[in-house]
Amino acid sequence: MNQALVLLKERLAMMTDLNLTSSILNWDQTTMMPDGGSDSRGRQMATLAKLSHSLLVSEETGELIRQITPWAQTQPQENMDAAFVHEAARLRNLEVNVPSSLNSEMTEHYSRMYTAWTIARPNDDFAALKPLLVKSVELSKKFSDCFKNMDHPMDALIQYADFGVTVKSAKQLFSELRSQLVPLVKRVTSANQIDSSCLQGDFDETAQLEFCKTVARQLGYDFNRGRLDLSAHPFMTRLSGNDVRITTRAIRTDLTDCLFSVIHEVGHALYEFGINPVLDGNILAGGVSSGVHESQSRLWENHVGRGKPFWDYFYPILQKNFPHFEKFSQSHFIRAINKVDPGFIRVDADELTYNLHVMIRFDLECQLLEGTLSVRDLPDAWNARYKSDLGISVPNMKNGCLQDVHWFGGRLGGAFQGYTIGNILSAQLYDTAHHILPNMEQDFVIGDFSKLKAWLNTNIHQWGASISPDRLIKLSTHQDLSIHPYMTYLSEKYSSLYNL
């Protein structure tokens, strides 16, 4: 193998190890660490970020990339080593723009802010977070200023999560979706409403976690290579191809919060487990974009986990574990878990209104970064949008702009577009898989999800970040990203559920 390629791989493997070590510290902070550890944890993570950044932007790394790039350019697209060189060049080209001191400052700030948020949110204390949020906006702007030739300040942030997407293209996609989604939401909310009171009860948290573990295992989550813990905001983290962890939270009165969070995070984890093991420790060993990642979680959560075939298998098990459900039929339960109910919390939102939450956040982030909205006015702007878009009055900050870890645990801006892209793509992928595997849902009825998982493994997971999101979508579904399969899915599903 070319000596420059060997050396480049060695350097970037070190960088990857530093980043993964930081992920362990982050996992510990969100699951185990006492609040008192916040300041030192911030400093430790900032140190790792600094070392990782300096390895990537160093002259030595730049020189190795320059030496090897002519070779990489002559290779076919599927050559993994060439893909590695292209990705290294892309990452370095991004990071050379950002001073190491800014990266460290951001890491330290977000770590402190996360702990402050976990304390302030239950107390509805926006005042305590306001100065920290002002600093987050400042840091995002400073970060964005490092990049030249951006049409919008948020474009600089988006390119890290969803390469190839811009504020302009996301807004175009959102407006196309909105024009079809809003009339459907109106038709559904004007129809006879579904009674979902069967979901309310008293469900022991430990029993919820045990049931969720059973579901996770059956979907293909490997507990020998992962674990499930509790955190304020559910997430998945990859520490290696053989250590992919998920978290959830459990609410005693409603087990669906825990259950669908787990199925969602399992979807993310199956993606990471399925990445070709030869890429482990490599910069390509990870999901290619937040949109593609989210397509995996939403596919399992909604297309599988809210469907009849899934519950044909799991409903008797649920009833056995929670006798509360013995008095409700399976069809009653399925209608309840698919009820459209415009609410305050994005992660609890039904499939129809979910994207409206995303679009509100996306627009508010754009305004904060453009400087057309100040942090002081954020709660009012937030509440006004919930009134106009979802028709609801937000009762307090913890169900409003303080609701989740976004904005309080990482860079402000550049993440939300991925949620809606993921929803759109989940339908496109499920549609394609179903076309190729017409009997796959018959297997779900007997608790066998392996055919769908294998199809996703072959077409999405194994490639990691070696193929660009656009190309991956085209290769796996034979078309560009399109809202049509998604709108057809939503329209058919809710027309049937609500007798439209």
Determine contact, residues 236/265, Cβ cutoff 8 Å.
Answer: yes
Is 176 marked active-site?
no
Give the shortest CB-235-to-Zn ion separation in angstroms: 8
243 DSSP β-pair partners? 240
Taken as a whole, the chain contains a residue count of 500
Q: How far is CA 54 from CA 15, 18, 122, 208, in A?
A: 9, 11, 38, 44
CA distance 293 to 297: 7
Between CA 213 and CA 218 the distance in angstroms is 8
DSSP letter (8 states) at residue 36: G
Smallest gap from residue 302 Cβ to Zn ion (A): 12
Give the residue among 182, 485, 168 at the shortest CA–CA distance from 352.
182
Minimal distance, residue 325 CB to Zn ion, in Å: 27
111 touches Zn ion by CB under 5 A: no
Minimum CB separation from Zn ion for residue 247, in Å?
A: 12
Q: In this structure, which long-range contacts are made by residues 22-30, counting pairs with CB atoms below 8 Å and at least 24 apart in sequence?
A: 22/48, 22/49, 22/52, 22/107, 23/237, 23/238, 23/239, 24/239, 26/237, 27/237, 27/239, 27/245, 29/111, 29/114, 29/115, 30/114, 30/231, 30/232, 30/233, 30/235, 30/247
CA distance 238 to 24: 9
Helix (H) / strand (E) element for 238: namely: strand 236-240
Sign of CA dihedral 216, 217, 221, 222: positive
Q: Report which residue's Cβ sits closest to Zn ion.
A: 297
Residues in contact with Zn ion, total (CB under 5 A)?
A: 1
Q: Give the Cα separation of 483 and 495 in Å (integer).
A: 18
Listing DSSP states for 85-121 in one string gives: HHHHHHHHHHHTTS-HHHHHHHHHHHHHHHHHHHHHT
Cβ–Cβ < 8 Å for 324, 457: no
User: CB-side exposure of 374: number of CA atoms within 13 Å?
Assistant: 3
321 beta partners: none
User: HSE (CB half, 13 Å, CA atoms) of 220?
Assistant: 20
- Is residue 247 within the footprint of Zn ion (CB under 5 A)? no
Give the nearer residue to Zn ion in terms of CB position, either 95 or 265: 265
Per-residue binder mask for Zn ion (CB under 5 A), 277-316, x = binder: --------------------x-------------------
Q: How far is the CB of 280 from Zn ion (least distance, A)?
A: 22
Residue in the block written with tokens 């400052």: 105
User: Cα 210 to the chain's mean position, in Å?
Assistant: 24
Residue found under tokens 């190729």: 436
Q: Angle 117-123-128 (CA atoms, 0-180°, nearest 5)?
A: 50
Q: What is the full DSSP assignment across 298-312?
A: HIIIIIITTSHHHHH
User: Residue 237 pairs with which residues in a beta bridge?
Assistant: 245
Read out DSSP for 333-369? HHHHHT-----S-GGG--TTTHHHHHHHHHHHHHHHH
Which of 265, 294, 351, 441 is catalytic? The answer is: 265
Considering the complex, state which of residue 152 and residue 357 has its C-beta at the smaller distance from Zn ion.
Answer: 357
Question: Residue 297 or residue 468: which is nearer to Zn ion going by CB?
Answer: 297
Residues near Zn ion (CB under 5 A): 297
> What residues act catalytically?
265
